[in-house]
């Protein structure tokens, strides 16, 4: 059974040292980038909740979620800038969004990702940042592992994408109703 712990000065370097496989590099941003985005979000009025994932005292991964409380929320700024019409944004506020999941390459295929997302869903259902009726996330269309994981937890494709489908630089948007 895993547990989630806040990122602190004591576990930051260990979190930054987590690695993914070479095949996953196009699908998952580094934890350094994720934590920088969390900092930028929080210091600009947004929300970010990053956690280290532990099995006992061994850090096995990283997970982070956010909360969008208004259509022009800071965390949606990049998405808003990529669409001509703000009504085309694939996430309808207020909502929660599972922003990152990274399981260390030496710890994969042990069920840690599913357990972590289950814990995040349970936490989100307590509405820690505000009320919402759904959780979104997204994945690259070639990332079969993420698709399988989130589908097994009840996430459904919305038909929306984040990014540019024509450039093949996009992610499939999925949603879990609460």
140-155 pLDDT, tens digit per residue, is 999 999 999 999 999 9
Element (H, E) at 142: none
State what percent of residues in the chain have pLDDT above 90: 71
pLDDT, residue 1, reads 87
pLDDT tens, position by position, 17-36: 999 999 999 899 999 999 99
What pTM does this model have?
0.90
* Whether pLDDT at 81 is above 60: no
pLDDT at 74 over 60: no
Where residue 91 falls among pLDDT bands split at 50, 70, 90?
confident
pLDDT at 76 over 60: no
Tokens 């895993």 belong to which residue? 2
DSSP E strands, the chain: 2-6, 49-55, 58-68, 95-103, 134-139, 156-164, 169-177
What is the pLDDT at residue 56?
97
Which numeric CATH code is attached to 2-177? Answer: 3.40.630.30
């Amino acid at each position: 059974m895993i547990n989630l712990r806040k990122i602190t000065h004591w576990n930051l370097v260990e979190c930054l040292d987590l690695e993914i496989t070479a095949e996953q590099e196009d699908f998952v941003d580094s934890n350094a980038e994720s934590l920088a985005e969390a900092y930028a979000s929080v210091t600009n009025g947004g929300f970010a909740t990053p956690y280290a994932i532990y099995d006992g005292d061994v850090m096995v991964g990283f997970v982070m979620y956010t909360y969008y409380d208004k259509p022009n929320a800071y965390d949606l700024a990049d998405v808003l800038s990529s669409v001509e019409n703000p009504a085309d944004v694939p996430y309808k506020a207020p909502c929660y969004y599972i922003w990152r999941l990274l399981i260390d390459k030496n710890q994969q295929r042990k069920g840690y990702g599913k357990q972590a997302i289950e814990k995040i869903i349970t936490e989100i259902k307590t509405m820690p940042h505000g009320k919402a009726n759904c959780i979104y996330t997204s994945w690259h269309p070639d990332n079969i592992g993420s698709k399988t994981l989130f589908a097994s937890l009840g996430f459904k494709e919305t038909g929306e994408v984040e990014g540019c489908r024509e450039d093949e630089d996009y992610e499939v948007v999925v949603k879990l109703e609460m």
